[in-house]
């Protein structure tokens, strides 16, 4: 039983066809823990934060995590 049946709501004709697009991730991509932006291994650090505040992030970068570490299986794919 799907939600339409469960709640007695008429199902739209596209209900079996709608698929959310997969999130694309560059291999090695990381997410900045300060601003939430992503960056590639080639960029090394979040360029937005480094360029916005050279005093804080001079020569270093803000903390970051691997983007795939917080994504659920099945909602993302690597870029090709």
Judged by CB under 5 A, the stretch of 2-10, 15-23, 26-34, 71-79 that binds Zn ion is 26-34
| Contact residue for Zn ion among 9, 35, 65, 75 (CB under 5 A) | 35
**Residue 40 Cβ vs Zn ion, minimum distance, rounded to whole Å:** 13
| Contact residue for Zn ion among 25, 26, 34, 68 (CB under 5 A) | 34
Distance CA 43, CA 48 (A): 11
Give the other-Cβ count within 10 Å of 51's Cβ.
10
| Contact residue for Zn ion among 29, 30, 31, 46 (CB under 5 A) | 46
Residues in CB range of 65: below 8 A, 6 or more apart: 30, 31, 33
End-to-end CA distance of the chain: 37
Q: Which residues bind Zn ion (CB under 5 A)?
A: 32, 34-35, 37, 46, 48-49
């Amino acid at each position: 039983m799907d939600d339409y049946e469960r709640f007695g709501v008429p199902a739209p004709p596209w209900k079996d066809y709608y698929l959310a697009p997969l999130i694309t991730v560059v291999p090695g991509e990381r997410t900045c823990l300060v601003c939430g932006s992503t960056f590639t291994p080639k960029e090394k650090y979040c360029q937005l934060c480094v360029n916005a505040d050279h005093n804080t992030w001079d020569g270093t970068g803000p903390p970051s995590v691997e983007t795939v570490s917080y994504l659920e299986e099945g909602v993302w794919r690597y870029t090709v």
